[in-house]
Amino acid sequence: MHGPCRFSRKFPDRALQHRDRAYPICPAESQAVCSVRADPLQAPTRSLRMATIRESSRALRSIRAPPITRQASLRLSRSSSSAATAEAPLPELAELELDSGLNVPAPTPEIKERFKPWKRQMERKRGLPGSRYQYHPPKFNRGPLHPIQSPASSDPIARDFVPGPFNVPRIKHTYQSTIASDIMTLTYLHTPPGTEKPPVPQRLREWDDSSPYHKNRPLRGPRGHSHLPLIERDITFNNIPAIQEITISSFVPQAIRDEDLLLVARTMLLAISGQMPEITKSKHSVVQWGLIKDKKTGVKVTLKGDAAYEFLDRCIQFVFPRIKEWKGLSGTTGDSAGNLSWGFNPEDMVLFPEIEVNTDMYPAKMMPGCRIFVKTTATSDRQARLLFGTLGIPFYGKLRN
């Protein structure tokens, strides 16, 4: 066994303090240590006493009590907390009712007989006040400078708000993922940087100054037209042709004499479009056709957004393939502004799935045909035909741009 170190021989008090910090002792042992330090002459006797006390404290430490389980500790904490709560209730819980709502007795037959909210509603002479200011959008737009403006169409309080979209049409998804990029790549026209654009020639005619009244007059319109046609723009990433809206119209001149024909036409357009058609009237009186001005002679409906894509998808997938000897759309169709049209005969209307499932509802002799007008964002018929070709609609005959 090694003897005391040099540090303990030189500084006995500090060595004892260091030992006390490393090995904690009981209060009796600490008193013995203090007495040894106070009286060095009685050190042997007191050191023996201190050793006895140390051994007894070690024996007591060896006797360990059984540990308290977690459940027992939680039970004790809960019981103590509940007892403390019962002794000193919190002020926040003073307003709570101690009785349960299940103990409330059921209403008596007299109370049930007197409870008639519909009668109180009918006897009320004035309406209940609104909870807040009720804003109603204006019916008419009075210009951009008016203090009251109509909300955007995407606002739920707008008059023209349409909820949705609830799904993505298949043909629209195909257009966004494949067709749009293919059209832009197919019609790409490389222009080197710094190339000047060719000047646009004047398309309006000037006066020949044969009369002094021609001075300061506006230029004349194009010969044979009342308005200038659109100029075809190059297809870029922000100018790709797309479907804008589709108008379905049915002309029924016999409805002047028999209004039931108009009812059948309106029901058919409602079935294939999903929207309520509006009734159209003749603008002029034509004796040869038996038309009278301001008489109901047809119906029409306009589809926009996803409804237009879904209707065009049904025409491409279900109607066109089932028409016998169908060649496609005529190459001369179009209005030189990117809008194309075609028509369906009365016997072709039965091919729509919405009408085919309930053919008995539409009398065969009263079923009219219809005309389809597709409005696109293209600036020429050539670009519109390119869009229709990528969607799966062929063209036949001479092409007119």
pLDDT grade for 332, boundaries at 50, 70 and 90: very high
Residues 269 and 277 sit within 8 Å (Cβ to Cβ): yes
Pick 104 or 83 by higher pLDDT: 104
36 touches 53 (CB < 8 A)? no
pLDDT band at 263 (very low <50, low <70, confident <90, very high): very high
Residue ranges per structural domain of the chain? 245-396
Q: State the average pLDDT for the chain.
A: 82
Task: Give the CA distances from residue 311 to residues 98, 162, 272, 316, 379, in Å, rounded to whole numbers and listed in that order.
Answer: 64, 18, 8, 9, 23
Gap between the Cα atoms of 329 and 341, Å rounded? 8
pLDDT at 315: 96
Is the pLDDT assigned to residue 2 strictly greater than 80?
A: no
The predicted pLDDT at position 127 comes to: 72
CATH number of 245-396: 3.30.1440.10
Q: How many percent of the chain have pLDDT more than 90?
A: 48
pLDDT tens digit sequence for 283-330: 999 888 888 999 999 999 999 999 999 999 999 999 999 999 899 999
What per-residue confidence (pLDDT) applies to 51?
64
What is residue 260's predicted lDDT score, i.e. its pLDDT? 85
Residue 24 above 90 pLDDT? no
Alpha-carbon span 332 to 384, nearest angstrom: 12
pLDDT at 354 over 90: yes
Ramachandran region, residue 286 (left: φ > 0; alpha: ψ -120 to 50; beta: rest) = beta
| Closest listed residue to residue 247, CA positions, set 378, 342, 372, 387 | 372
Which string of DSSP letters, residue by residue, matches 187-212?
Answer: T-----TTPPPPPPPP-SBPP---SG
Residue 97, token pair as written in the block: 């009712």
Phi and psi, residue 297, nearest 5°: -130, 10
Of 36-40, 218-222, 259-263, 333-337, the range with the lowest mean pLDDT is: 36-40
pLDDT per residue over 95-153, tens digit each? 777 776 677 788 899 999 989 888 888 888 877 666 666 788 999 999 999 999 999 99
Buried/exposed code over 256-283 (b: 16+ C-beta within 10 A; e: otherwise): beeeebbebbbebbebbbeeebeebebe
Q: Is the pLDDT confidence value at 37 over 90?
A: no
Q: Is the pLDDT of residue 171 over 90?
A: yes
Q: Is 349's pLDDT higher than 90?
A: yes
- HSE of 234 in the Cβ direction (CA atoms, 13 Å)? 10
Q: Residue 88: is its pLDDT beyond 60?
A: no
pLDDT band at 50 (very low <50, low <70, confident <90, very high): low
